[in-house]
């Protein structure tokens, strides 16, 4: 089995730390991991130093702040799922 993790943050905060923990745990169970993340991000450096825990694919990413704000606002008013709305804001 292969799990692909997509982390858009540049810093190693809560979400990125959780992804690191997932990669470590899954790799220990023999599951193949792929991490897609921004170039030169903290998670790329951290996971890259883990011994064969994941293949790291660094790509250029930017977040459109206006798109994120409007997406989050729309999600809050329609479904209350504002915390997940930011996932739709990535620009590749």
- DSSP 3-state assignment of 35? strand
Q: What is the model's pTM?
A: 0.68
Question: What is the pLDDT averaged over residues 6-24?
Answer: 94
The overall average pLDDT reported for the chain is: 80
Per residue in 26-68, pLDDT tens? 999 999 999 999 999 999 999 999 988 999 999 998 766 555 5
pLDDT at 85 over 60: no
Phi (first) and psi of residue 72, to 5 degrees = -65, -45
4: phi then psi, degrees, rounded to nearest 5: -105, 125
Specify the pLDDT at position 20.
96
Closest of 37, 39, 40 to residue 16, by C-alpha: 37
């Amino acid at each position: 089995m292969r799990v692909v993790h997509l982390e858009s943050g540049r810093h190693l905060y809560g979400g990125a730390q959780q992804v690191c923990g997932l990669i470590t745990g899954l790799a220990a169970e023999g599951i193949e991991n792929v991490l897609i993340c921004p170039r030169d991000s903290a998670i790329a450096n951290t996971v890259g130093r883990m011994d064969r825990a994941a293949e790291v694919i660094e790509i250029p990413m930017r977040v459109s702040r206006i798109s994120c704000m409007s997406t989050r606002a729309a999600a809050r008013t329609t479904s209350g799922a504002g915390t997940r709305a930011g996932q739709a804001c990535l620009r590749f």
